[in-house]
Structure 1
Amino acid sequence: MEPAGNKRKREGLPTTLNKPVAALAIVPLNRNLTVTARKAYNVMLHIAQNAGDTGDLGFSAPLNAILRGFGVGNNVATDAKRYIDQMTSTKIEWRPLTEGEQWQLPNDGRDPSLLEWRAGEEARDELRIFNMLAEVRLYKKAGENWVTWFYPPTIKEQMLGPHRWARLELEVIAQLGTYTAVALYEICARYRDNPAGVTSRHPWSWWVDVLKGSEAGKQREWRKFKNEFVNPAIREINEVSEIEIELLEYKQGRAIADVQFAVRKKAPQALPNKPQPPDVSQLLRAARLGIRESDAEALLERYGDAAMTHALDAMERHMSHHASKTIFNKSAYLKSILLGKTASFGETEAPPLENPPPSTRAAAPRLASAESDEWRARRLAEIQTEFEALSAQEQAQWVEKLRLDAVYRGGVSATVMRRLEAGAWRSPLVKAMVIRFYASARHGSDWAELPQGMASAAE
């Protein structure tokens, strides 16, 4: 009989990761977990499962097999540390999908607290909290960057020999662009063969916690989270994966109370046999330009790899041609390129995305840009006056909304956070930030755009 592994290779089927169901719904407790770190963690698990139990030696692989983009010239100590560090320092709460899918503890008699279970009593409502990895070693071997890692005991036990697992296609996960999409795919893949065709049903707050990748306790309103994260994730999963999913919502009165997902299998697809580690090339480029990893990761998730490549190319060209000009907020400047808008972060205008127009038409874009800038400044002044007319209590409520939003999205300095926590919205550090947040929430995301009639006249 042909070995199953050879048959999979001959047929070109994707490499499958058997991930324990207890590790599918996870909630970071002390810091954000990025989509890159979650993808890399799955690849490391796949490598560990293929290696089997190595005792106290840990598991080893070339760094490029876990995170693509680290060549020989990269400084492993500085470039890789930011990604591996998430796995060693992130404390995770692993939540069971159903009551019957708790962690299965070893019952070898060494732990007195387990004696009562040997009499047939089953553990109930168990909660385990630990870091994703216990230790990581980064080093060079034969000129190549390598990594050796160790799991906490409970994780190692379940990762290498799970009692129940979900079959995850690593090639599919490599194509998903957001943390929400990866987390939702992993959970829904667990139910691809479920006769009922649905996932477990939970309150919507449970789904927000396990799908957002940021610390627990910063709750998002379901309607906003669904529109901004869940719906795009569903579209992405249905496009690239072997399953199709559908959101099911249940109301209590007029409000959404519970949520679950319908799961259907597609016809078999031929996918590459080799699991693809997440590509961090663009994140490394952004870091070299002085952009924070969390900001670059968020922009990459939102705008995609192709747009990010184009924007980084434009930013590099601009910085090389205008070395004497300082960009004070590089993350915001990169975002302005991705949006295709003029920005004023120490520059007169954003770098062009395409070849400049002929000289005979050069004046019109400059006039339109000037008109747009003047309109934006006037609108900002009007909305600031409107905000100042609010009561002190209303102003404080808006500042608190901004603070919560900043905590959720990340990328805000500790100094700015202290100003927001103190409610000091008139501080020069946060004043414009508060007014723009209020403007977008009260008047819509297009509050600063030139009205259509005026825009046509300016052109």
Structure 2
Amino acid sequence: MSLLPAGAQTPAEAEAPSALLAPAMPGGTRRAPARRSAAAGLPARADAGQELLRKPVNALAIVPQSKKITPLFRKSYNVMLHLAQEQGMERDIFRAPISAVLAGLDFDSNDTGLVKRHLRAMATTAVEWQSPTTGEGASWAISGLIGHAEIKREGGQNWLEWSYSVRLKQELLEPSVFARLSLEMIAQLRSHGAIALYEICSRYRDVGRTSRQAWSWWRPVLSGKPETDKQKQLEYRFFKRDVIKRAIDEVNAITDIEVELLEYKAGRFIADLQFSVRRKQQVPLPLVPPGSAPQPLDLTQVVRATALGVDEERAEQCLHEFGEAPLKAALDVLERRVASAFPQPLRDPQRYLRAVLEGARGGPDETPAAHGPGHDADAAGRADLALREVEAKRRVKWTEEWLRRRRDGLADEIAAMGEEAQQALCDSLLADMAARNVHPSIRKRLQTSGWQHAMVLHEMLRFYANASIGEQWDQPSAQQLLDVAAQLGDTAESAGLSAG
């Protein structure tokens, strides 16, 4: 992969970091040196025992210049940076088993495409490096996140090697101004907005609030999207609803800090944003034993989805949007449908999977943090129920369309008859309505306005269809619904219809 040039940056402000508690890594890695010990008078921290990343402030509010930064992109970069800090400044090339960064990949198959795509993006996607505090960094820079990456197979195991730009390496590995970040907590966050907000707010947890910036400054930082013309036209209310609110809900529910949005107006409109930050009274316990290595990102469900015919990027998007347990449950449903191939092979696994996940979520305003472990435990049952609801709705839509077409066809047949035949049919209908005690106003309307009047048309179509087709005239077969679905461009197989 290409090595990109990087601009120099050296933050001017110094902040004393705490010791980084981490074990030695295989292959000659070592502990990052502690710059100040507990004996120096530092108070004990609530996050002691958790795996901490010392992330430079200029790497907190990065802005992509061409491609979107995904949650997996940012999480895997954090793990790689932590491993590099462990291995130390003396190295030019850093290395680790790929399984230490990304779990769930079978590298004897085609899964390398997924990790290669992310490594390529890290090396080639230019990002603007900036601190969330204006003027905190001594200089501005734009570069790729890593200098190069290479995958090697040694002794039956796949290893990842990577490097950083020479001008960025010092600040990345031994930062003078940084935020202490819990990799365990970051691993639980789903959206890019939540990850970026947690990283930035962690920098200010002892200050109480972030710096105040224009809301347009926050837009690319939290969304992870480049500032295109389309992005610049995005209204604040949509950015708040779709990015900020979800990010705050996730951070407050999962991490050890609580964040609140502060808005500042210029006239009638929101101009600047700031976030208040405070530590929680009860800090979540580490999810892994103290002193253990950072947990790799588990891509098992993404790999499984691609094997079932789902596009790699779409599968990753579903993982971040819905979470691992709901995705696993929905893939169970998809797997059963693919295996059955009934009534015909599944044509659109991506759309089928999305329909199951949307139904299982229960509502557009639900956030991942709103549910506990019990919610994830019944994800399979919810997914099955949601699929049945989706099937029922589609059957209703197709049936309504089929009935509309059948009624139009019947009306055309009657209209094509001669006047005498139509009159005879109207006389027969009038006698039938009298025998059934149909309301006199409808019978009178038939005599004065004819069978095409809105009050009479449905009676005429029913009467004619029963006589010419039979009493089952308004009940479509499975094959007829499949034909309608195909003409509508819908996925007929999603309703599990049998053509037999």
Common fold by TM > 0.5: yes
SS of alignment partner, residue 167 of structure 1 = strand
1:180 shift after superposition: 0.8
- What residue in structure 2 maps to residue 307 of structure 1? 326
Corresponding residue to 1:84 among 116, 119, 134: 119
Equivalent positions of 1:118-137 (< 5 A) are 126-137=139-150
Distance verdict in 2 for CA 1:374–1:355, change over 3 Å: closer
Radius of gyration: which is bigger?
2
Distance verdict in 2 for CA 1:366–1:288, change over 3 Å: closer
* 1:41 aligned onto 2:77: yes
Distance verdict in 2 for CA 1:152–1:325, change over 3 Å: farther
Equivalent positions of 1:23-42 (< 5 A) are 23-42=59-78
- What residue in structure 2 maps to residue 290 of structure 1? 309
Distance verdict in 2 for CA 1:309–1:377, change over 3 Å: farther
- What residue in structure 2 maps to residue 64 of structure 1? 99
How many matched pairs?
339
- State how far apart, in whole Å, the 1-side matches of 2:391 and 2:303 are: 34
- What residue in structure 2 maps to residue 223 of structure 1? 237
Distance verdict in 2 for CA 1:356–1:85, change over 3 Å: closer
1:331 shift after superposition: 2.3
- What residue in structure 1 maps to residue 151 of structure 2? 138
Task: Structure 1: state its 5+ residue gaps.
Answer: 105-125, 342-351, 380-431, 434-459
1:297 shift after superposition: 2.4
Q: Which amino acid aligns with 1:229?
A: V
Equivalent positions of 1:175-254 (< 5 A) are 175-194=188-207, 197-217=208-228, 218-219=231-232, 220-254=234-268
- State how far apart, in whole Å, the 1-side matches of 2:158 and 2:263 are: 47
- State how far apart, in whole Å, the 1-side matches of 2:313 and 2:215 are: 26
Deviation readout 1:4-26 (Å, 9 max, x if unpaired): 74899xx9720111100011001
1:243 shift after superposition: 0.6
1:375 shift after superposition: 5.5
Q: Which amino acid aligns with 1:371?
A: V
Q: Percent identity?
A: 39
CA contact (8 A) 1:181 1:237 kept: yes
Q: Which amino acid aligns with 2:194?
A: A
CA contact (8 A) 2:61 2:196 kept: yes
Deviation readout 1:131-180 (Å, 9 max, x if unpaired): 11111010212211210001112321211121200010111101101111
SS of alignment partner, residue 238 of structure 1 = helix
- State how far apart, in whole Å, the 1-side matches of 2:250 and 2:386 are: 34
SS of alignment partner, residue 48 of structure 1 = helix
Q: Which amino acid aligns with 1:33?
A: I
* 1:101 aligned onto 2:101: no
- What residue in structure 1 maps to residue 395 of structure 2? 370
Distance verdict in 2 for CA 1:168–1:368, change over 3 Å: closer
CA contact (8 A) 2:111 2:303 kept: no
CA contact (8 A) 2:334 2:349 kept: no
Q: What CA RMSD, in Å, does the superposition of the two structures yield over aligned residues? A: 3.3
CA contact (8 A) 1:72 1:143 kept: no
Deviation readout 1:286-327 (Å, 9 max, x if unpaired): 222232233222222222211111111111211111078454
SS of alignment partner, residue 215 of structure 1 = coil
Corresponding residue to 2:280 among 266, 269, 289: 266
Corresponding residue to 2:336 among 312, 317, 331: 317
* 1:163 aligned onto 2:176: yes
Q: Which amino acid aligns with 1:265?
A: R
- What residue in structure 2 maps to residue 122 of structure 1? none
Q: Which moved more, 1:206-215 or 1:267-276?
A: 267-276
- State how far apart, in whole Å, the 2-side matches of 1:263 and 1:36 are: 25
- What residue in structure 1 maps to residue 408 of structure 2? none
- State how far apart, in whole Å, the 2-side matches of 1:237 and 1:279 are: 21
SS of alignment partner, residue 162 of structure 1 = coil
- State how far apart, in whole Å, the 2-side matches of 1:291 and 1:222 are: 33
* 1:354 aligned onto 2:384: yes
Task: Structure 2: state its 5+ residue gaps.
Answer: 1-18, 23-37, 39-43, 361-381, 405-487, 490-500
- State how far apart, in whole Å, the 2-side matches of 1:64 and 1:300 are: 19
- State how far apart, in whole Å, the 1-side matches of 2:90 and 2:68 are: 30
SS of alignment partner, residue 223 of structure 1 = helix
- State how far apart, in whole Å, the 2-side matches of 1:269 and 1:315 are: 35
Distance verdict in 2 for CA 1:243–1:378, change over 3 Å: farther
CA contact (8 A) 2:359 2:390 kept: no
SS of alignment partner, residue 19 of structure 1 = strand
1:329 shift after superposition: 3.8
CA contact (8 A) 1:76 1:145 kept: no
- What residue in structure 2 maps to residue 416 of structure 1? none
Equivalent positions of 1:377-416 (< 5 A) are none
SS of alignment partner, residue 302 of structure 1 = helix
- State how far apart, in whole Å, the 1-side matches of 2:309 and 2:396 are: 31
- State how far apart, in whole Å, the 2-side matches of 1:184 and 1:356 are: 32
